[in-house]
Amino acid sequence: MVFMRGRLLLAFAAFTGVAGTHAHARAQMTEQCLAASEDAQQLRRIGKLEAAVDRLAVCSAPECPALVRADCTQWTKEALDALPSVVPGAKDADGRDRANVTLSIDGRRVTDVLDGRPIPVDPGIHVFRYEAAGSVAVEQQMVIRAGEKNRVIVVTLAPQSAARATIETPPAEPSPPIAAYVAGGIGIAALAVGLVLDLDANGRASTLRASCAPNCAKDDVDSIEGRYVVAGVTAAAGGVALVTAVVLFLLHDRSTPRVRPAASGSLGSVLVHF
């Protein structure tokens, strides 16, 4: 009897120990499920949908409490619906597809092969960088919108040899605009005509003063005054034309692009297709 009682006590102790271990493990799992659920909600609020989906996978596990699991399953569907995706691609200067291209997003290396598969990206502003052997790296900043699926983005990679040739070719001297020459010519001609008319009017006035002043005919006096007016208007127009020519020269000088040597690792040309 003593022997049987001892065996029963040992069996009871073993049972209670196992039950206690299972209860502790279940309590830990429940805590992990609740923590994952809270983390996922916070990540969704700040737009980190990729990370939110990872955390929702934890609280959607069969080991989690039914209520928590149901909420996390629903939130997973909502997060996946909102999670955008892009389909990046690259072409060479002849329009041929480039597959062996390294793509980094916000400095994080995403893939080394552009095979036409969609890549999930959190909504927001991101910097995409494309790098391929023998080509100039291309960077572009893009706004990715929530719910935007399979957005096709294709860039054109310029060969490094073409970039070097562009850098080493000296810029051509900019030529002044034709409009400036035309305005300047008109201004000089108008000033010359105004001067001739003024001199003619002075000569006629001197003749009248010597011959008939102060009893000269009104028509003769009016004719001389008219010549003075025409001379003044013509000279003023010439001055305006010359000022316009100077302004055109100055504006052309400021708007002429300056070619500067590109730094190492500079960006190539970008052609984006949406």
- Domain assignments of the chain as residue spans, ordered by start: 2-82, 85-168, 178-255
pLDDT at 20: 55
pLDDT at 17: 52
Does this model's pTM top 0.95? My answer is no
Tens digit of pLDDT per residue, the chain (274 long)? 544 445 544 444 454 554 556 677 788 999 999 999 999 999 999 999 999 999 999 999 999 999 999 999 999 999 999 999 999 999 999 999 999 999 999 999 999 999 999 999 999 999 999 999 999 999 999 999 999 999 999 999 999 886 665 555 555 555 667 877 777 788 788 677 767 777 776 777 777 677 776 777 777 767 777 777 776 777 787 677 667 767 776 776 665 555 454 444 444 444 444 4
pLDDT at 55: 95
Dihedral angle of Cα 106, 110, 113, 119, to the nearest 10 degrees: -90
List of long-range contacts for 114-119, beta carbons under 8 Å, 24+ apart: 114/88, 114/89, 114/90, 116/87, 116/89, 117/87, 118/85, 118/86, 118/87, 118/149, 118/150, 119/85, 119/86, 119/87, 119/88
pLDDT at 15: 46
pLDDT at 259: 47
Q: Which CATH number fits domain 85-168: 3.90.1150.10, 3.90.550.10, 2.60.40.1120, 3.90.870.10?
A: 2.60.40.1120
pLDDT at 37: 93
Q: 229: Cβ–Cβ under 8 A, 6 or more apart, which residues?
A: none
